[in-house]
Amino acid sequence: MSSERIFGLIRRVLRRAINTDTPNVQVQVESSADEPHSDVEVLESYGLTAHPPESVPEGIALFLNGQSDHGIVIGWLDKAHRPAGLKAGEVQLYSVHGQNALFDKDGQVTIDATQHGQRIFFDKEGQITLEATQHGQRIFFDKEGQATLEATKHGQRLVFNKDGEVEIVAKQGQKMLMDKLGQISLTDKAGSKFEMLASGSIVASPANTLFHINGYLTASYGGSSIGMGPNGDIALKAASGVVQTIGDAKATGDVVADSEGRAVSALAHEHEGVVRGGDRSLGPV
């Protein structure tokens, strides 16, 4: 085959127009000899088609039997947008608008819409990360079967863990946990906690006090406490030994005294006095 015939078979062409509305993409091109060619087909594989931008005008065309009216473009030469730096065996799909999909040498897949900051990453551990980096949102599905949703820009986080529990965390330190026992716990930055337990009890634990409901009510602060039992009893206990102070009158666990120091009543208290039945009456103390 003569060199002229070979030159006529393979030519570098410049695209002047393109039509992607036809069953096969068709272009109008000019060859290196400024010869125009109309309705030239573009060779495309099944499942993959493209409309090259104006910044990618050059292509390689074959002309069967060297005839100018039987041309077919077999590829476009992209010198403007092709990603550089691929490792051996890697594949990357890309567009002029910034989207790309990278199949890397570690078996991982990264899909990027870099212009708007979105990214999907399938790592070699079988984990998936979805990110809207421009706005700080992130969803992470890890290899333990957990899912984490984060608004990293503002510090909020929602976790569905491997035990079926749900945790909500705010940047300011508040946390809500719905655990595997069906319980709910709310905690604030200071460490105060409100719990709804599986037993039906409700426990409120401020950072420096205690409030407990479990068929009865218990509240405590600084070592002192008050309890209201299911039978209607009320029990008081003071860290100082003084249960209640009303004016100048003070009551302890054994004796109630009035403001002038006179005993009014006694409970399980041994003291000299007049015994009548099971009662004891005391004189002034």
Q: What is the pLDDT of residues 169-180, one digit of tens each?
A: 998 889 999 999
Q: What is the pLDDT of residues 94-118, one digit of tens each?
A: 999 989 999 999 999 999 987 778 9
More confident residue, 121 or 116: 121
Q: Are 239 and 254 in contact (CB under 8 A)?
A: no
Per-residue confidence (pLDDT) for residue 270, from 0 to 100: 46
- Residue 4 is given by DSSP the state H
What is the pLDDT averaged over residues 222-233?
Answer: 70
Tell me the two tokens of residue 216. Answer: 């009865």
Domains 3-76 and 172-237 share a fold: no
Q: d(Cα 28, Cα 17) in Å, to the nearest integer?
A: 5
Domain chopping of the chain, boundaries: 3-76, 91-168, 172-237, 244-281
Q: Thinking of the domain 3-76, which architecture would CATH place it in? A: Beta Barrel (2.40)
**What is the helix (H) or strand (E) element at residue 8, kind and residue range?**
helix 3-9
Q: Which of 10-24, 124-138, 162-176, 201-215 has the lowest mean pLDDT?
A: 201-215
Q: Thinking of the domain 172-237, which architecture would CATH place it in? A: Sandwich (2.60)
* C-beta atoms surrounding 76 within 10 Å: 17
Q: d(Cα 266, Cα 6) in Å, to the nearest integer?
A: 123
Where residue 3 falls among pLDDT bands split at 50, 70, 90? low
Q: Are 27 and 73 in contact (CB under 8 A)?
A: yes
Q: d(Cα 96, Cα 239) in Å, to the nearest integer?
A: 76
CATH of domain 91-168: 2.60.450.20
